[in-house]
Amino acid sequence: MLIFKDFVKYYGSEKFGNVTNGITPRRWLHQANPKLGDLITEALGNKDWLKKLSLLKELESFADDKDFKKRWAEIKHSNKVRLAKHIKAQTGIIVSPNALFDIQVKRIHEYKRQLMNILGVIHRYNSLKKMSSKEKSQVVKRVVILGGKAAPGYDIAKLVIKLINSVADVINQDKSIDDTLKVVFIPDYNVSVAEVIIPASDISQHISTAGTEASGTSNMKFVLNGGLILGTVDGANIEIHEEIGDDNIFMFGHLADQVEDLRHAHRYRNVPMEPALQEVIKDIESYHYGDPHIFAPLIDTLTSGKDYYLISDDFGSYISAQSLIDEAYKDQDDWIRKSILCTARMGKFSSYV
C-alpha cells in the first residue's frame, strides 16, 4: 500500500503541502461565548479579530492585568453556571460551577478512549474513598462531563456509555465524598449543545491513542474559549501544543512510533496490566457498578483483546497528568493566566486563513 511518504520520496517534497484545518471564530467564540467575545473586542478595540484570528495575539499583554483577569474569570464562571443549569434540566444532576469542569465530548469510539476516562474516574473515586475528611477537604472538586453518540451497531461504544452512566449513578449518590466528584453523561449531544458545553470547560480531554486521530477540531474550539487541554501527542494536539506552549497544556502517553512495538508486545508476550488499572477492573468485577457480566466485553478489550488501544500502557501517565491538573488548578490566578494565553495563541486555527 502506498502512502504519502512513498509519493514524497518519488516526486519530491515540493509537490506536497500541509494545510492545518480550522474552525470559524464567528460560530465557536462570537456566537457560543458572546460575553468573552465582547471582552476581547473591548480589549483589542475592534472586531477585526473575527476575520483575522491572529490578532488575538495582542491579548498576551493582558495576561497579567488584574482587572482583565478578574473579568475573564467571571465570564468563565457564568458559562459554567449556564452549563450547570443545562445539566440539571437534562439529567436532574446538580453540579457546582465552583468545581473544575473536566469535559470530553465527541463521537464515542475505542480509539478516542472515553473508556480510559471513566476508568480514571473510578480510580479517582476509589482514592477519595480512602481519604480522611481533612484530606478530602483539600482536594480540588471536579465535575467530569462526557457526551457523544455511538454508531447504531457499535456495541462496545454503547457499553462505554452504559458504564459511564452506571459509574455516575454510584458516585453521584455517595454522600461520603462530600460532592468532591460528580459524573455526568450529557444526552443528545449535538452542535447546539456543544455551544453551551465548550465555553464552560476548564480542562478538556483529547486522549486518543497516538497515531489514530487524523486531526480533529474540537480541541481547537475548547482552547479558543480559554480551556486547557489534557491530551496525547496525537492529531491537532501536536500543533496546538506548538502554539500555546508547554506551560499551558497537559500531555501524556506513549508516542506514535512506539505504538506498534507495544501492540506487538501485547500480542506475543504476557504483558502485565498497569496495577492501578487492575484495581479498577477488579472493582467493576465486584458488582460495584451493577452486574459485571454486562461489562465483560469491555474488560475483554483490555485482556483477551490484547489492549489494542493501549489503555493500560498509558494509564499511569494519564493518572499522573490528572494530578498535575489538580495542583495547577489550585492556583487560580495562574490558571486564568494560562486560559488567556491559550485563547491568545489560537490564531493559526482559523478556517478563514
Write down the pTM of the prediction. Answer: 0.95
Residue 125 and residue 322: Cα distance in Å, rounded? Answer: 13
Grid cell locating 335: 490558571
Domain boundaries, the chain: 95-331
Contacts with 231 (C-beta within 8 Å, 6 or more apart), sequence order: 205, 206, 207, 219, 237, 240, 241, 249, 250, 251, 252
Radius of gyration, alpha carbons of the chain: 21
Under CATH, what is the fold of the domain 95-331? Answer: Rossmann fold (3.40.50)
pLDDT tens by residue, the chain, 353 residues: 556 778 888 888 777 776 778 999 999 999 999 999 999 999 999 999 999 999 999 999 999 999 999 999 999 999 999 999 999 999 999 999 999 999 999 999 999 999 999 999 999 999 999 999 999 999 999 999 999 999 999 999 999 999 999 999 999 999 999 899 999 999 999 999 999 999 999 999 999 999 999 888 999 999 999 999 999 999 999 999 999 999 999 999 999 999 999 999 999 988 999 999 999 999 999 999 999 999 999 999 999 999 999 999 999 999 999 999 999 999 999 999 999 999 999 999 998 75
Phi, psi for 183 (deg, rounded to 5): -130, 135
User: Which residue in 176, 175, 111, 121 sits closest to 145, CA to CA?
Assistant: 121
